Chain A
């Protein structure tokens, strides 16, 4: 496929819809077989060593599948009821490196659950592999603004 800004934006917006709708199975289908989903902790960025520093999330494919499997369970209490969410993805920048598309975008997410609304924000960094029908996610790192604050429930998808 041809890599255009329009195609990159369309993919990120599509992903945002799946996340907001908690369509976790469809979201999982976007990921490459070898992948890394990373949310660093303690205000750190992607220069930290996740083998020496704790992360909020550091999933390979197997752990990501476990996460989705659990989230879909009727006993995932922290998502019963589910978070109602809507996010805006913007400030999208991208470049092509060795056949992969590296994107950097901002998100602003309103999350409502059990009478409490939270505002979450951060920077998402995607590494995307061009595929016949769009892209596959090779890696996604979310630098969450709140990553050094006390958080009660981050079991929805970022």
Chain B
């Protein structure tokens, strides 16, 4: 390594207003991120509403480690390591499906969807000291949920999920409480996207839309309706829009569009009222939450625009999971959540709004991905290796609960994520 400082000197790489490009380009640092972040802290595995029926499962990875999230025949959602207890083969080879049993097709060990080992071929070959109950599928060391979001940690000890989420938890409520019954349906499928760039580029950036998404903003101005323009008024990314950035600690950050959206409430309600039975949704929200809170939740439109570090974001209608594959290769899964207890027309609108911007053919995500790839290319020019992230440092304020607040286009969010990154990377490995 030719770096002037040791690459493990993370505090040198992440300074208050700048960051060294090595954290986006160096494969050795990526390996450390796997060990220190993805194989240790709380990761979101998904939402239990993806698995409405016993046996429903989704296989995924936590960092590099394959896991299965499955609803067992007893109704419980568990996260298992996707690894046979015999010789270590994956026991679930499809991404999603429904199964009563997971069978290892190497030697035929069979596991129940609640974990226990059900059958071993040729049991007579195992002695009296072999007990099937010692060989069930291995659970992740720690699992916890909040509002149906399933989190797992591969470390046996550490902060609780509640401690990890801190003040960010109430933004998961914003997402869930767009439903008058406080519940969602996550069976609408998934947009899987991928870009050749570092996972940390999936930030939370209110500064980029005027340029990265100029083509979309132009289209919004040309005609509003059936797209994301319905929930915004004017230019939501302008410094004088009233919208904010928040750094909630532990790397959790959000673009707080609530001020602008509350100002746009009448226009958004008019959009909802044009939908078949749209008025029923408004009334149901008022009944469930009272008129004042109901209106606030309607203004949010279930879009907290929050990033729960390191791999969950709730943006628009989607539950977004970020999967780093390599230092310069990232997969992003976008699950649109449908609301329970609302007219079908509201969920149709949510799907069309999502598709208009997100996914591989959306008007927004592919342009983000394109710029992330150009970013990865540009960072190879390491003669001056620093990225400047100082926008808004001169006007950032700190609220009593420790939340740092900036204007919507300030880099409060980037700084907050990197502060969370630095804390996790600097903790000693057990």
The answer to whether B338 touches A78, judged by C-beta atoms less than 8 angstroms apart, is no
Return the contact of A75 from the options B193, B194, B215, B222 (Cβ within 8 A). Answer: B215
Is the CB of A70 closer than 8 A to any CB of chain B? yes
The answer to whether A42 touches B219, judged by C-beta atoms less than 8 angstroms apart, is no
Residue from B211, B225, B356, B360 with most neighbouring chain A CB atoms (10 Å)? B360
Is the CB of A154 closer than 8 A to any CB of chain B? yes
Q: How far is the CA of A151 from the CA of B191 in the complex (A)?
A: 9
Which residue in chain A gives the minimum CB-CB distance to B323?
A150
* B328-362 interface code vs A (CB 8 A; 1 in, 0 out): 00010000101000001001100110111001110
Neighbouring A residues of B225 by C-beta, 8 Å: 62
Return the contact of B218 from the options A39, A53, A73 (Cβ within 8 A). Answer: A73
In whole Å, how far is B64's beta carbon from the nearest beta carbon of chain A?
17
In whole Å, how far is B185's beta carbon from the nearest beta carbon of chain A?
9
Q: How far is the CA of A54 from the CA of B196 in the complex (A)?
A: 24
Is the CB of B369 closer than 8 A to any CB of chain A? yes
Return the contact of B359 from the options A51, A54, A148 (Cβ within 8 A). Answer: A54
The answer to whether B190 touches A54, judged by C-beta atoms less than 8 angstroms apart, is yes
The answer to whether A57 touches B361, judged by C-beta atoms less than 8 angstroms apart, is yes
* B364-402 interface code vs A (CB 8 A; 1 in, 0 out): 001101110000000000000000000000000000000
Q: How far is the CA of A155 from the CA of B312 in the complex (A)?
A: 25
Which residue in chain B gives the minimum CB-CB distance to A80?
B370
Return the contact of B363 from the options A51, A66, A150 (Cβ within 8 A). Answer: A66
Residue from A58, A150, A152, A155 with most neighbouring chain B CB atoms (10 Å)? A152
Neighbouring A residues of B117 by C-beta, 8 Å: none
The answer to whether A54 touches B355, judged by C-beta atoms less than 8 angstroms apart, is yes
Given contact pairs A54-B191, A56-B361, A153-B360, A63 touches B352 in the complex (Cβ within 8 A): yes
The answer to whether B215 touches A70, judged by C-beta atoms less than 8 angstroms apart, is yes
Is the CB of A52 closer than 8 A to any CB of chain B? yes
The answer to whether A150 touches B215, judged by C-beta atoms less than 8 angstroms apart, is no
Which residue in chain A gives the minimum CB-CB distance to B225?
A62
A41-69 CB contacts (< 8 Å) to partner B: 41-42, 44, 50-58, 60, 62-63, 66-67, 69
Given contact pairs A44-B189, A153-B360, A73 touches B351 in the complex (Cβ within 8 A): no
In whole Å, how far is A141's beta carbon from the nearest beta carbon of chain B?
14
The answer to whether B222 touches A57, judged by C-beta atoms less than 8 angstroms apart, is no
Is the CB of B212 closer than 8 A to any CB of chain A? yes
B170-216 CB contacts (< 8 Å) to partner A: 187-196, 211-212, 214-216
Is the CB of A77 closer than 8 A to any CB of chain B? yes
Given contact pairs A42-B190, A63-B352, A152-B196, A78 touches B359 in the complex (Cβ within 8 A): no
Neighbouring B residues of A41 by C-beta, 8 Å: 189-191, 359
Return the contact of B371 from the options A63, A77, A155 (Cβ within 8 A). Answer: A77
Is the CB of A6 closer than 8 A to any CB of chain B? no
* A143-158 interface code vs B (CB 8 A; 1 in, 0 out): 0000011111111000
Q: How far is the CA of A69 from the CA of B360 in the complex (A)?
A: 18
Is the CB of A76 closer than 8 A to any CB of chain B? yes
* A70-95 interface code vs B (CB 8 A; 1 in, 0 out): 10010111101000000000000000
Which residue in chain B gives the minimum CB-CB distance to A67?
B363
Residue from A42, A150, A154 with most neighbouring chain B CB atoms (10 Å)? A150
The answer to whether A152 touches B366, judged by C-beta atoms less than 8 angstroms apart, is yes
The answer to whether B370 touches A151, judged by C-beta atoms less than 8 angstroms apart, is no
Neighbouring B residues of A80 by C-beta, 8 Å: 370
Return the contact of A73 from the options B191, B215, B344 (Cβ within 8 A). Answer: B215
Is the CB of B108 closer than 8 A to any CB of chain A? no
Return the contact of A52 from the options B215, B338, B356, B366 (Cβ within 8 A). Answer: B338
Interface residues of B (CB under 8 A from A): 95, 187-196, 211-212, 214-216, 218-219, 222-223, 225-227, 331, 336, 338, 344, 347-348, 351-352, 354-356, 359-361, 363, 366-367, 369-371
Residue contacts A-B, CB under 8 angstroms, 20 given: A39-B361, A41-B190, A41-B191, A42-B190, A52-B338, A53-B351, A54-B189, A54-B190, A54-B191, A56-B360, A63-B356, A66-B363, A69-B218, A70-B218, A78-B369, A151-B192, A151-B193, A152-B366, A154-B361, A154-B366
Known: A54-B355, A54-B359, A58-B355. 20 other contacts (CB 8 A): A41-B191, A41-B359, A52-B338, A54-B188, A54-B190, A54-B351, A57-B361, A58-B351, A58-B352, A66-B356, A73-B214, A73-B218, A77-B371, A148-B192, A150-B193, A150-B194, A150-B331, A152-B360, A154-B360, A155-B361
